[in-house]
Structure 1
Amino acid sequence: MQIRLPSLVTRARTDHRPPRRGDRPHVVYLAIGFPPAAKSSAYRMRETANQFAARGWDVTVITIADESWEREYGLDHTLSDGVDPRIVVERLPLARADLETDIRAFSEARTLHPQRWIEEQRRQELRIFPEPVFGGWRTELERAVLRVHREHAADLLMTTCAPYVNLAVTWRLWQEHRVPYVIDFRDGWSVDVIGGKAAFDRDSAAGRWEEKVLAEARAVWCVNEPIAEFYRERYEALRDQVRVVRNGYDEDCVPSATHRADPTEGLTFGYLGSINFAPALLDSVLTGWRLARRQDPLLARSRFEVRGHIGAGALREANAHMELLRAAAGDGVEFGGPVAKADVAATYGRWDALVLMLVGGRFVTSGKVYEYAASGLPVVSAHEVDHDASAVLAGHPLWTGAVGLDPRRLADSFVRAARLTADATDDQRAAARTHARRYARGAQLAPAVAEVTATVGGAAIAGPGSHGTSSEGGQA
């Protein structure tokens, strides 16, 4: 059986192509998940591209077609509003065949033996690159990056993972044209961020790919210190290249002010984020909420609103999580679906307290924890005690603390959050915002992009022009 992948015989769609300046360095940004993809990583990708544009780079983003994201979590076109208009976005006609829901497009093999079909699909993908689901994209991504480089020579390739097949594309451009590169690993590949251990051995196919590509990287970005330290210990020679570049929050995602709660009418607790954790975690939180309502009269007349994406493809809002939420409707639990980027601040602005549901431990940092911290609202933590989110929230004056996932202890956290909501002063809310200010996304990414610009972009301008840029001096 052969994998049927979209062809790039026709030219990939380009959003716009403004004129290029010869004295500007050019970064090709391999960013699968760029806006308007409704993925949490889209925020980081957007800010990274914008920071490069602000630093004087020509920026070409390579991602996949909007239609492909409609198969997964969907689209949020308000995300695109904040993309610097100087950025060129190339959208490739690649898509996940396993998320196709139109049975008219199914092959006979898939129709008759769906499980056997998906298993064969995965084997084929792994032969191309050691990553299931995305390994089969390697050839088309390589062609696209090489084509973009031919049209406007790259001085830097910025690669963000996942998918990790991007590493093969990065290596191809390095092998053929010696274009320097930076890898934004975010969560890392060889680290199991949920289990807190190595995901694969160094001598495995994936391990050999990772070690080879990382060895030539100008920098490797990770989202927190535990992941960064994992890579420093795994590859001692890379210790100086590994950087912590946290996610942070966008200023337009937090309300300018919080409304005052009316305890007589009850409170509104809210969760905003992708629901991609195990149903057992959600069950523990809903059980804790139910117990808290029995203990506290204020919570008994309060509600808990859950917002975000639940499931992908055919399982979108059709899974065990939805069954749990529907069963909890009698306890004041409501599911309101995803929230557009443009509406995030307003959503926080009408809630009284937040519930942070997260998987994993010290290797996991949620992008939402930064928004939660900056909201000025009390935060209930529903995650392991030893979690990187605890490091972000430590010292937050309206945080109830990490108590694990026992429903009875979570119930106590809900009760405490209700008291904080009713009693919090303006000074406490201001202190909560001040605590989070260091995690503004621009403040996290700007220094990292500035460093790359100084070490790579400056050389591209002042050097001999081997990548097709001007040899005139100047600052990128």
Structure 2
Amino acid sequence: MNTDRPRRLLFLAFGFPPALKSSSYRLREIANTFAAAGWQATVLNAAREMWENEFGLDESLLDNVDPSIRVIELPLARADLETDIRTFDEARALTPGRWLKEWREKNEESFPEPTFGGWRDDLERVVVDLHREDPFDLVLVSCVPYVSLAAALRLHEEHQVPMAVDFRDGWSVDVIHGGEAFERDSISGQWEQRALEATTSLWLVNEPIADHYRHRYPELTDKVRVVRNGFDRDSIPTAIPQPPVGPLRFGYLGTINFRPEFVSTVLGAWREARATNPLLEGATWDWRGNLGAGAVRGSSVVLEQLIAAEADGVTYGGPVPKRDVGEFYGSLDAVTFMVIGGAFMTSGKVYECMATALPIVSAHEVRHDASTLLEGYPLWTGVAGLDHDFLVSAFGRAAELALGADDALRRSARDYAEQFERSRIMIDAVSALTDKVAPR
């Protein structure tokens, strides 16, 4: 036996760079951390053509991927994202709603996931073939898609490969509305329990989701670990922000997946604050990020709302490439943090916002996991849901902080955020997982 052989990781990481996904930063850091720890990492991802049809691509995400990492892009696709009607059969062309329903039902015949369940056979075949070529010492799954669990279980049960699950937002918890997404005795529940009983370690992004799993599977509590998202050093300006000169510049960066009613409320509060507060005279608000997916990407009611608000200093400039994120934040005097969900949701962007050392205006539920983090941030203006009057005052308070915060206060804000630097979080998590996995 060659004891010098590096340990080999199979990482099922759908959404890995260059996919422009909310999970891409996390997936990249996980793979890089394993590589830095001496693991020989193989990443499985869907072909970039599929991601291009969904949210799009960001080639700059590849800039900092460890060159030792082997990335295999599988020719998997989502038929529901196809926009070329010349490829549609008669049933899809004439009754697209019925076609979509039947397509989802067919996927669930393989695995209880309507969009990705049909990938199961191909995934299982690929992972087994790769393992036979050169055995793996660990298979790590980062969900979604949850069908990846089936492939990891196949390796674990047939070839005794240890497995771990980066569940992120979990499966059986409804992170948007709260409560259970499905019961334990459902088909999805049976798959989840089978996977979690087999896993060596279960990673979740925050304490509320981790508590859900501790209560749902008390016998598996020792496996549960909170591995938060965080900010990337290259996504924030190096220098501490200085008091602005000229009209204030607000900005939002993140997925724009809000209901029109939400957008109407925040734009209305911004309009009133800008019109009534002298500190906000001439202020601008730049919205950046993905707006819609698939065929409707970049075209929606929300985009029309943003265009209509241009007279109020509002602009929409599309996504920001990863390599330009720090520069974007460096151009701002205050940031807005807007997110859906409630107590089970955190959002990775909150860490980035705090690391900017800029004033933060929040628009989200009061009982939100992000609120738990922001309470310790000295430049936060607080949260009251979508209360119009509160948001008006919050924009004004952010203006006061942008103009009046001294260097010491800004440094205390950056210091508070430092605990959430992504590589620091991931090094600890990977080290703990590595200690659990014996060399094969």
- Of 159, 163, 183, which aligns to 1:177? 159
Partner of 2:286 in structure 1? 305
- Residue 352 (structure 1) aligned with residue 333 (structure 2): yes
Partner of 2:357 in structure 1? 376
TM-score under structure 2 length normalisation: 0.98
Partner Cα separation in structure 1 for residue 106 and residue 38 of structure 2: 42
Partner Cα separation in structure 2 for residue 134 and residue 300 of structure 1: 49
Is the partner of 2:114 in helix, strand or coil?
Answer: coil
1:249 positional shift: 0.6
Is the partner of 1:412 in helix, strand or coil?
Answer: helix
Partner of 1:440 in structure 2? 421
Is the partner of 1:401 in helix, strand or coil?
Answer: coil
- Of 282, 290, 314, which aligns to 1:333? 314
1:432-462 alpha-carbon deviations (Å, 9 max, x no partner): 1000000000111111100111120xx21xx
- Of 18, 21, 24, which aligns to 1:42? 24
Partner of 2:393 in structure 1? 412
1:178-237 alpha-carbon deviations (Å, 9 max, x no partner): 111110000000000111100011111101110111011101000000000100000011
Partner Cα separation in structure 2 for residue 317 and residue 258 of structure 1: 33
CA contact (8 A) 2:240 2:411 kept: no
- Of 81, 100, 107, which aligns to 2:82? 100
Partner of 1:230 in structure 2? 212
Partner of 1:89 in structure 2? 71
CA contact (8 A) 1:291 1:408 kept: no
Partner Cα separation in structure 1 for residue 233 and residue 244 of structure 2: 27
Superposition map of 1:38-437 within 5 A: 38-262=20-244, 265-437=246-418
Partner of 1:468 in structure 2? none
The letter of the residue matching 2:306 is: L
CA contact (8 A) 2:335 2:358 kept: yes
1:23 positional shift: 1.6
After alignment, is 239-248 or 279-288 more displaced?
279-288
CA contact (8 A) 2:47 2:74 kept: yes
TM-score under structure 1 length normalisation: 0.90
CA contact (8 A) 1:377 1:429 kept: yes
The letter of the residue matching 2:293 is: A
CA contact (8 A) 1:259 1:350 kept: no
Partner of 1:14 in structure 2? none
Is the partner of 2:382 in helix, strand or coil?
Answer: strand
1:401 positional shift: 1.0
Partner Cα separation in structure 2 for residue 82 and residue 63 of structure 1: 17
Count of residues in Structure 1 that have an aligned counterpart in Structure 2? 439
The letter of the residue matching 2:220 is: L
Q: Which runs of 5+ in 2 are unaligned?
A: none
Partner Cα separation in structure 2 for residue 83 and residue 34 of structure 1: 10
Q: Which runs of 5+ in 1 are unaligned?
A: 1-19, 466-476
Identity among equivalent pairs (%): 53
CA contact (8 A) 2:241 2:358 kept: no
Partner Cα separation in structure 1 for residue 387 and residue 50 of structure 2: 39
Is the partner of 2:73 in helix, strand or coil?
Answer: strand
Partner of 1:6 in structure 2? none
- Runs of 4 or more, structure 1, over 3 Å off, are 258-263
Partner of 1:15 in structure 2? none
1:22 positional shift: 5.3
Partner Cα separation in structure 2 for residue 170 and residue 399 of structure 1: 42
CA contact (8 A) 2:342 2:368 kept: yes
Alpha carbon RMSD of aligned pairs, Å? 1.3
Partner Cα separation in structure 2 for residue 318 and residue 214 of structure 1: 40
CA contact (8 A) 1:364 1:389 kept: yes
Partner Cα separation in structure 1 for residue 280 and residue 79 of structure 2: 45
After alignment, is 111-120 or 101-110 more displaced?
101-110
CA contact (8 A) 1:29 1:49 kept: yes
Partner Cα separation in structure 2 for residue 447 and residue 277 of structure 1: 34
Partner Cα separation in structure 2 for residue 280 and residue 166 of structure 1: 36
Partner Cα separation in structure 2 for residue 171 and residue 443 of structure 1: 29
Partner Cα separation in structure 2 for residue 255 and residue 71 of structure 1: 31
After alignment, is 39-48 or 296-305 more displaced?
296-305
